[in-house]
């Protein structure tokens, strides 16, 4: 209710009560009192009684209004848990009381993995219902414990609890909560399993004030997210110190971009039947002058966090096109070039124009294929689809990388301008000896075929995997068994000397 409506309602209650009092109080007295002197005295008492009753009424109305205002200030509107500000204030109170009762406690941050995917796939109503279910589960679990429970972000919850029973017991209790949350189902997504990442920090071991404590908890959560979905991590001082190292690494990455110290390697892709080269994937590498090779799964997230990903995409496109052209491989030995792009490439303003500028010197844009993951698509589905639609009209091809690790429904796939799906290497690694992986690969191939999409398997490392994928009519293959990633000079030599029949003989 708005402040005006709340005030109006209180005023109307007072006016109605006053009007009823004036209209009927005198009649009531006249009906019971005959003496004029007694009636006069009773009128005085009636006035004092009116003041007393209206005072109580005013107290009641003010109490309700202030309680409602405080609840709005302290509580999250959706879940009715404490909000971020009140949680911080209450934790600060716990820290002040520590000097008197010396009771240590921990804070656990709980973050829902792939929450954007849930909102985009099942709708915001389903996402809100999941958040309310998590809140209800937390409240039920800690209803009789002196805990603080809050919703501190869109898909984030926080718990503060005393560690009287020992840290290990508290952590096991939080793991049990994690398991129960994993059992929650999302409306309209019956096959989706909810997973949460959890970061934990302890007072006073990890920090001595509320700001540092929450920062330590966030660092632990960040480490849990980096390890994958559904992970739990305690704050580690060494990891906290590595935050400084990562900031330094971010500065080094910017310098490497400016000085063109990064380079590209290329891994060929092959037709599953003929084993002829169908394209190559450009992969960025960084050899740090002091630290040596830095893995892409370290420096690419850094680039995204520091706002450098657009410059990296520009760099890869420019260098790959230039090297392929200078080596004479461009559109001759190499029919298609796949370039990995980030979700952030589709979020900044003018992203369509940025892609068009990257490819402006090409006569035929069908030579280019953009690879992005399911998760990247779902993080900003509508805008990504719009940009891809425009690029598709210019004949740019699109591949969904790491297919099968995210959540994309058939309906969403139909709406996307996709040419290819790439089966994630973890599914390929266990074929043909794992029945589960075999079934997953067959299902992905069948689904892609129903949508008339090309299927490529990455991470192919054995002849048995090649034979299995050929039998299941997978379209293309990529992996160390056929070719490792290589620099442009080695790629030129490989393409010009490659004989598909020699590889084919080894797979029989």
Q: Say which CATH number the domain at 91 has.
A: 3.30.70.270
Say if 40 falls within a structural domain.
Answer: yes
Q: Are residues 37 and 89 in the same domain?
A: no
Q: How many domains does the chain have?
A: 3
What's the mean pLDDT in 102-118?
89
Q: Are residues 66 and 97 in the same domain?
A: no
Q: What confidence score (pLDDT) does residue 48 get? A: 72
What's the mean pLDDT in 220-234?
82
Say if 8 falls within a structural domain.
Answer: yes
Q: Are residues 221 and 272 in the same domain?
A: no
Say if 507 falls within a structural domain.
Answer: no
> Is the preceding peptide bond at 108 cis, omega within 30 degrees of 0?
no
Highest mean pLDDT among 18-27, 64-73, 208-217: 208-217
- In the predicted model, is pLDDT for residue 182 greater than 80? yes
Instruction: For residue 14, give its domain range.
Output: 3-74
| CATH code assigned at 359 | 3.20.20.450
Q: Tell me: the pLDDT tens digits for 298-335? A: 788 888 877 889 999 999 999 999 999 999 998 789 99
Q: Are residues 123 and 252 in the same domain?
A: no
Say if 217 falls within a structural domain.
Answer: yes
Secondary element (H or E) of residue 186: none
Provide the mean pLDDT of the chain.
84
Between 440 and 119, residue with greater pLDDT: 440
% the chain with pLDDT above 70: 84
Of 218, 235, 252, at which residue does a domain stop? 235
**CA-wise closest residue to 487 among 267, 232, 200:** 267
Contact 411, 147 (CB under 8 A): no
Say if 170 falls within a structural domain.
Answer: yes
Q: What confidence score (pLDDT) does residue 348 get? A: 73
Q: Are residues 322 and 216 in the same domain?
A: no
Q: What confidence score (pLDDT) does residue 150 get? A: 95
In this prediction, residue 481 has a pLDDT band, given cuts at 50, 70 and 90, of very high
Between 70 and 208, residue with greater pLDDT: 208
Q: Are residues 431 and 338 in the same domain?
A: yes
- In the predicted model, is pLDDT for residue 145 greater than 80? yes
Q: For the whole model, what pTM was predicted?
A: 0.60
Q: Tell me: the pLDDT tens digits for 8-42? A: 776 777 677 777 766 666 666 666 666 666 666 76
Q: Are residues 224 and 359 in the same domain?
A: no
Say if 503 falls within a structural domain.
Answer: no
Q: Cα separation of 506 and 508, whole Å? A: 6
- In the predicted model, is pLDDT for residue 130 greater than 70? yes
Q: What confidence score (pLDDT) does residue 410 get? A: 64
**CA-wise closest residue to 441 among 458, 461, 418, 420:** 458
In this prediction, residue 116 has a pLDDT band, given cuts at 50, 70 and 90, of confident
How many angstroms separate the Cα of 55 from the Cα of each of 52, 63, 66? 5, 12, 16
């Amino acid at each position: 209710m708005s402040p005006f409506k709340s005030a109006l309602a209180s005023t109307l209650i007072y006016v109605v009560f006053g009007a009823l009092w004036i209209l009927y109080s005198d009649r009531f007295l006249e009906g019971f009192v005959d003496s004029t002197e007694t009636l006069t005295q009773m009128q005085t008492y009636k006035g004092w009684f009116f003041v007393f009753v209206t005072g109580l009424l005013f107290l009641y109305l003010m109490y309700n209004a202030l309680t409602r205002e405080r609840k709005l200030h302290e509580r999250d509107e959706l879940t009715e848990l404490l909000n971020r500000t009140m949680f911080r204030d209450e934790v600060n109170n716990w820290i002040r009381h520590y000097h008197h009762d010396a009771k240590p406690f921990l804070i656990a941050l709980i973050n829902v993995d792939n929450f954007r995917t849930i909102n985009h796939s099942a709708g915001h109503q389903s996402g809100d219902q999941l958040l309310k279910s998590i809140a209800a589960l937390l409240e039920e679990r800690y209803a009789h414990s002196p805990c603080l429970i809050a919703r501190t972000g869109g898909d984030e919850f926080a718990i503060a609890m005393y560690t009287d029973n020992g840290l290990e017991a508290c952590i096991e209790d939080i793991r049990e909560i994690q398991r129960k949350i994993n059992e929650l189902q999302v409306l309209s997504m019956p096959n989706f399993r909810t997973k949460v990442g959890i970061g934990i920090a302890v007072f006073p071991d990890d920090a001595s004030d509320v700001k540092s404590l929450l920062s330590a908890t966030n660092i632990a959560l960040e480490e849990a997210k980096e390890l994958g979905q559904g992970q739990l991590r305690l704050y580690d001082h060494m990891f906290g110190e590595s935050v400084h190292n990562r900031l330094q690494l971010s500065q080094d990455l910017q310098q490497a971009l400016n000085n063109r110290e990064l380079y590209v390697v290329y891994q060929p892709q092959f037709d599953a039947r003929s084993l002829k080269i169908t394209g190559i994937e450009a992969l960025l590498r960084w050899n740090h002058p002091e630290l040596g090779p830095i893995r892409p799964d370290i420096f690419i997230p850094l680039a995204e966090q520091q706002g450098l990903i657009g410059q990296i995409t520009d760099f890869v496109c420019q260098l790959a096109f230039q090297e392929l052209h200078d080596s004479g491989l461009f559109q001759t030995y190499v029919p298609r070039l796949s370039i990995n792009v980030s979700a952030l490439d589709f979020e900044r303003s003018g992203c369509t124009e940025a892609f068009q500028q990257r490819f402006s010197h090409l006569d035929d844009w069908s030579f280019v294929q953009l690879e992005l993951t399911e998760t990247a698509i779902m993080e900003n589905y509508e805008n990504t689809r719009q940009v891809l639609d425009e690029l598709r009209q210019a004949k740019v091809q699109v591949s969904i990388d790491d297919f099968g690790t995210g959540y994309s429904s058939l309906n969403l796939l139909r709406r996307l301008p996709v040419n290819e799906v790439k089966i994630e290497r973890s599914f390929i690694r266990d074929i043909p000896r794992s029945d589960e992986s075999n079934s997953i690969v067959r299902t992905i191939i069948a689904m892609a075929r129903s949508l008339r999409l090309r299927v490529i398997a990455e991470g192919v490392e054995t002849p048995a995997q090649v034979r299995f994928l050929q039998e299941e009519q997978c379209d293309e293959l990529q992996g160390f068994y056929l070719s490792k990633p290589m620099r442009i000079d080695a790629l030129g030599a490989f393409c010009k000397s490659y004989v598909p029949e020699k590889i084919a003989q080894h797979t029989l």
